[in-house]
């Protein structure tokens, strides 16, 4: 009888242990789901913050784009006004040339050599070439420099 009782106790003990293990397994699964939920919530919050930051950036860029378009429109209007003024000025000069023989003769004459040399310039590529060209044109020494003897 002792063996039967020991067998029943053993089976009962194994059953209790199985129920405890099953209960612990359920608690572990529940804890894992809670961790996944917390992680997903944190990821959603981070994504929401990123979306809000991106929305703010888009709004800023939209405002900047609108301002640049308005500025470009104003510059085009100013450019049109300058073109009209230039055309009017050119027309006035032509009218003056037709009216005044002395002015027409003066305008028809070629530029003096000194003025023509000022306008002559070799094809330059880059700032260094321009600086070298300017330096080689017989630059006037600064007021504090004394000529070498």
* Triad 63, 66, 68: Cα angle to 5°: 110
Q: How far apart are CA 40 and CA 47, in angstroms?
A: 10
Is position 94 within any domain? Answer: yes
**pTM of the predicted protein model:** 0.44
By residue count, the chain amounts to 149
Is position 20 within any domain? Answer: no
Mean pLDDT, range 47-67, rounded to an integer: 96
122: Cβ contacts below 8 Å, ≥ 6 apart: 133
Per the structure block, which two tokens stand in for 44?
Answer: 């959603």
Helix, strand or coil for residue 137? Answer: coil
Is position 65 within any domain? Answer: yes
Is position 95 within any domain? Answer: yes
pLDDT tens digits for range 91-135: 998 888 888 888 788 888 888 887 777 777 777 788 888 888 777
Q: How far apart are CA 90 and CA 93, in angstroms?
A: 5
What is the residue range of 74's domain? Answer: 59-108
Per the structure block, which two tokens stand in for 82?
Answer: 């300058």
Count structural domains, the chain: 1
Angle between helices 101-108 and 2-99 (to 10 degrees): 130
Give residue 143's pLDDT band: very low, low, confident or very high (50, 70, 90). low
Is position 87 within any domain? Answer: yes
Is position 25 within any domain? Answer: no
pLDDT score of 60 more than 80: yes
Mean pLDDT, range 36-52, rounded to an integer: 94
Is position 37 within any domain? Answer: no
Separation of CA 52 from chain center: 20
Integer angstrom CA distances of residue 82 from 63, 75, 105: 29, 10, 28
Is position 86 within any domain? Answer: yes
């Amino acid at each position: 009888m002792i063996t039967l009782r020991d067998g029943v106790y053993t089976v009962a003990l194994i059953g209790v242990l199985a129920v405890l293990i099953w209960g612990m397994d359920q608690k572990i699964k529940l804890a894992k789901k809670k961790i996944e939920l917390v992680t997903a919530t944190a990821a959603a919050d981070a994504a929401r913050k990123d979306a809000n930051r991106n929305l703010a950036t888009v709004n800023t860029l939209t405002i900047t784009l609108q301002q640049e378009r308005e500025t470009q429109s104003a510059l085009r209007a100013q450019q049109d006004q300058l073109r009209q003024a230039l055309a009017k000025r050119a027309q006035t000069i032509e009218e003056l040339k037709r009216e005044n023989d002395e002015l027409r003769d003066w305008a028809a004459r070629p530029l003096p050599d000194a003025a023509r040399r000022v306008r002559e310039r070799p094809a330059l590529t880059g700032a260094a070439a321009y600086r070298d060209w300017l330096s080689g044109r017989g630059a006037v020494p600064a007021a504090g420099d004394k000529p070498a003897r």
